[in-house]
Amino acid sequence: MNSLKVLRGSNITTLTLFASFAVMCLFFAAQTPFFLTSGNLQTIISTLAVNGIPAIGMTLVLITGGVDISVGSVAALTGVVTSLLWLQYGIPLGISALIGLLSGGLVGFINGSLVTLLKINPLITTLGTFSVVRGLAFVFSEGQTNLLSNEAFQFLGRGQILNIPFSLLCMIALYAVFSLLLYHTAFGRNLYMIGGSAEASRLAGIAVTRHLLVVYTVSGLLAAFSGLISVSQLASSAPRAATGLEFTVITAVVLGGTSMAGGKGTLIGTLVGVIILRTLDNGLVLIQVSSFWQDFARGLVLVLAVGFDQIRARLTGRMKRRAV
């Protein structure tokens, strides 16, 4: 029942987002004739997955009241591990990529363990692993960029099926699977309850530790998958890769209506948030706005999104108090 209310409230947020997106598209279309061309739309959709996939994991983490700052570092480590195993140890690329993916899952599991078992604040925990994992990426790669010229692997980031980017199809499939998980299973409902109150959830018999371990591990795995897509698109891996990914992903998720305080959020909102941010970046480049103003715009969007979230929370609180 509670989750249904959450979804109903979130629908308003999602509709607002769609309206904002439409206004933004109209603005860019009026500014440049290239914005609504098929080539540009293809560019936008073919580069959505790198931010869109880790945003799924971040949504789950934020719903539980946590946060995962380490996603960018995990994405970089995955690329480094994959290229190192393939280029230096001669392990087949598919297996190397799988091990790279699992390394991301392992970091997520460690994050979850630190948060649940040692009760360390998620922000501090993942800030620590953010630095440790980035450091490992530099140590393993010795600071070097490695080229990964393999056509089969490049299909992951650049391939198309019926003119639809393969990475986009992967992203849509993941959103569908995790939407089912979030809205149609006890596991998903429990995540909202944990985000509302971890203590109350524990008293209600929910295995909070197990749920959080799963959520952080999933976040690590999805960040790693994003890292693989990026490596495939760029045909190279670098330890500095995905710098700032966490900022972009958190902005998209909060913009999509997920509350930083936990207990609220939808994947469709996150998806719209990802699309809005990507379109904003694309439009600003197309109309040749200075990169400094692009940074300003991105930061402003985050501040507005968080501000809107706070105002909404206060209004909801007042309405509840009046009702009582």
Partner 1 sequence: MFNKRLLTVFLITAIVFGAFGALALRPAAVVAQDSCPTQKDSYVIGFANLTEDIDFTKLVREGMVSAAEAAGNVELILADNKLDGATALSNTENFITQGVDGIVHFQTDAAFGNVIMARSRAEGIPVIAIDIPMPGATFFGADNYYAGQLAGEALAAWVNENWGGQADAMLVLELPQSGPVPAARMQGMLESYQANVQTPVAEDQIYRLDSKNTQEESFRVVSDTLPAIPEDSKIVAITINDGTALGVIAAAEAAGRAENIIVVGQNADTSGQEEMIKPNSRYLGATAYFPEKYGDKIIPAMIDILECRPVPPSIFVDHIFISKDNVCDFYPDNWPEFCGGAEATPESGG
The amino acid sitting at 68 is D
Q: Which residues pair with 165 in a beta bridge?
A: 160
The nearer residue to partner 1, 144 or 316, going by C-beta atoms, is 144
CA distance 310 to 314: 6
Interface region with partner 1, contact rule CB under 8 A, candidates 137-145, 169-177, 194-202, 297-305: 137-145
Indicate whether 162 belongs to the interface with partner 1 (CB under 8 A).
no
Least Å distance between CB 254 and partner 1? 21
Q: Choose which of 94, 143, 299, 317 interacts with partner 1 (CB under 8 A).
A: 143
22 to 41, contacts with partner 1 by CB under 8 A? 32, 34, 37, 39-40
Q: Choose which of 22, 173, 180, 285 interacts with partner 1 (CB under 8 A).
A: 285
Least Å distance between CB 12 and partner 1? 31
Least Å distance between CB 282 and partner 1? 5
Indicate whether 251 belongs to the interface with partner 1 (CB under 8 A).
no
Indicate whether 198 belongs to the interface with partner 1 (CB under 8 A).
no
Beta strands in the chain (DSSP E): 146-147, 160-161, 164-165, 236-237
Interface region with partner 1, contact rule CB under 8 A, candidates 54-62, 100-108, 119-127, 240-248: 240-248
Q: Choose which of 240, 296, 314, 317 interacts with partner 1 (CB under 8 A).
A: 240
Structure tokens given for 100: 């790279």
Count, residues near partner 1 per rule CB under 8 A: 39
Q: Choose which of 64, 73, 125, 233 interacts with partner 1 (CB under 8 A).
A: 233
Phi-psi region of 235 (alpha: psi -120 to 50; beta: other; left: phi over 0): left
- How many other CB atoms are found less than 10 A from the CB of residue 113? 17
| Residue whose C-alpha is closest to residue 236's, from 316, 141, 127, 123 | 141
Structure tokens given for 143: 């600071």
The nearer residue to partner 1, 37 or 316, going by C-beta atoms, is 37
Least Å distance between CB 286 and partner 1? 6
Phi, psi of 236 (to 5 degrees): -165, 160
Indicate whether 157 belongs to the interface with partner 1 (CB under 8 A).
yes
Q: Is 169 helix (H, G, I), strand (E, B) or coil?
A: helix
Residues ≥6 apart with Cβ < 8 Å to 167: 46, 48, 49, 50, 156, 157, 229, 232, 233
CA angle 176, 177, 179 (to 5 degrees): 65
Interface residues toward partner 1, by CB under 8 A: 32, 34, 37, 39-40, 43, 46-47, 50, 138, 142-147, 149, 157-158, 230, 233-236, 238-243, 281-282, 285-286, 288, 290-292, 294
